């Protein structure tokens, strides 16, 4: 049996994790029934790719939620898409990439760049930092995140453009889910874990944004999020 230690951000906002990447990695392990231990790590510079989450598996340190999944998959430890046919696997792959490579940055924009939300994000996400030094520390992190968003490209769009990109992604998720209980139809698969990691991170934090309003327009996504949170993360 593999000995898995997951290094991830501290939990926040009543979510399994305020980072969708941490939340989905833990979700993969839970859904696959793999035992693991969590170590809180809030400094991405400690990870092998300077990102959180990362893991130690039998002494070997590894970064990136998807590469970790692939490693476990190649060792016959995880196969969450096993029930799906080839075409559905391809569609799900595209949807997961949409979430990780684009929706993520819309969400990051809503937390770190949108001036309407900043006070709320600073005081709820970093509430543990004493009030006197909170602005100094959080302003530094905010500057770094804004630089990352500009480098990635999302930060070059105006506010309306960013949320319009996000709305298209949410609409695609809502349309694909339709009346099914899960993206996998009758069973939970990898995309269910990815989708709940983003949707819960948009719906649950006390951050108002057009992105949250778009999700609320899809009752199927709202009830899916509640169901998936219970089903995947209950233990
Ligand atoms: N592709 C990576 C992305 C991980 C990632 O972007 N993590 C963010 C937190 S949600 C991070 O560590 N950001 C810190 C930074 O970029 O300095 C994965 O799937 O694990």
* Residue 14 in tokens: 């009543």
Beta bridge pairs of residue 5? 37, 56
Same domain, 68 and 91: no
Tell me if 199 sits within 8 A of 215, measured CB to CB: yes
Atom number, ligand 1, closest to the C-alpha of residue 63: 20
Same domain, 102 and 48: no
Cβ of 65 less than 6 Å from ligand 1? yes
Cβ of 66 less than 6 Å from ligand 1? yes
Atom number, ligand 1, closest to the C-alpha of residue 64: 20
Q: Is the dihedral of CA 188, 190, 192, 197 positive or negative?
A: positive
Q: What is the mean pLDDT of the chain?
A: 96
Nearest CA to ligand 1 atom 12: 51
Cβ of 64 less than 6 Å from ligand 1? yes
55: containing domain: 4-74
Span 116-141, average pLDDT: 89
Cβ of 152 less than 6 Å from ligand 1? no
Nearest to 126 by CA among 2, 6, 13, 3: 13
Domain presence at residue 80: no
d(CA 132, CA 170): 38
Nearest to 114 by CA among 214, 209, 212: 209
pTM reported for the whole predicted model: 0.96
pLDDT of the residue at 124: 85
**Could you give the number of structural domains in the chain?**
2
pLDDT band, very low/low/confident/very high, at 200 (cuts 50, 70, 90)? very high
pLDDT tens string 41-84: 999 999 999 999 999 999 999 999 999 999 999 999 999 999 99
Given a cut of 80, is residue 1 above it in pLDDT? no
pLDDT tens string 140-164: 999 999 999 999 999 999 999 999 9
pLDDT band, very low/low/confident/very high, at 102 (cuts 50, 70, 90)? very high
In this structure, what CATH number is given to the domain that contains residue 60? 3.40.30.10
């Amino acid at each position: 049996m593999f000995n898995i230690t997951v290094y991830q951000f501290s939990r926040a906002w009543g979510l399994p994790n305020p980072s969708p990447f941490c939340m989905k990695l833990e979700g993969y392990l839970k859904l696959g029934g793999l035992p693991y231990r969590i170590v809180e790590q809030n400094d991405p510079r400690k990870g092998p790719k300077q990102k959180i989450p990362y893991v130690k598996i039998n002494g070997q340190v590894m970064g990136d939620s998807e590469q970790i999944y692939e490693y476990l998959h190649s060792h016959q430890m995880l196969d969450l898409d096993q029930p799906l046919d080839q075409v559905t696997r391809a569609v799900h792959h595209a949807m997961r990439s949409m979430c990780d490579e684009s929706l993520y940055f819309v969400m990051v924009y809503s937390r770190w760049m949108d001036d309407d939300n900043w006070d709320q994000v600073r005081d709820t996400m970093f509430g543990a930092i004493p009030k006197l030094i909170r602005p100094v520390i959080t302003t530094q992190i905010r500057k770094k995140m804004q630089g990352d968003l500009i480098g990635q490209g999302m930060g070059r769009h105006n506010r309306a453009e960013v949320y319009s990109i996000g709305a298209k992604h949410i609409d695609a998720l809502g349309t694909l889910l339709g009346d099914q209980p899960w993206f996998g139809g009758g069973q939970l698969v990898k995309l269910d874990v990815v989708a709940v990691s983003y949707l819960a991170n948009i719906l649950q934090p006390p951050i108002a944004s057009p992105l949250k309003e778009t999700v609320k327009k899809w009752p199927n996504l709202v009830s899916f999020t509640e169901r998936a949170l219970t089903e995947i993360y209950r233990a």
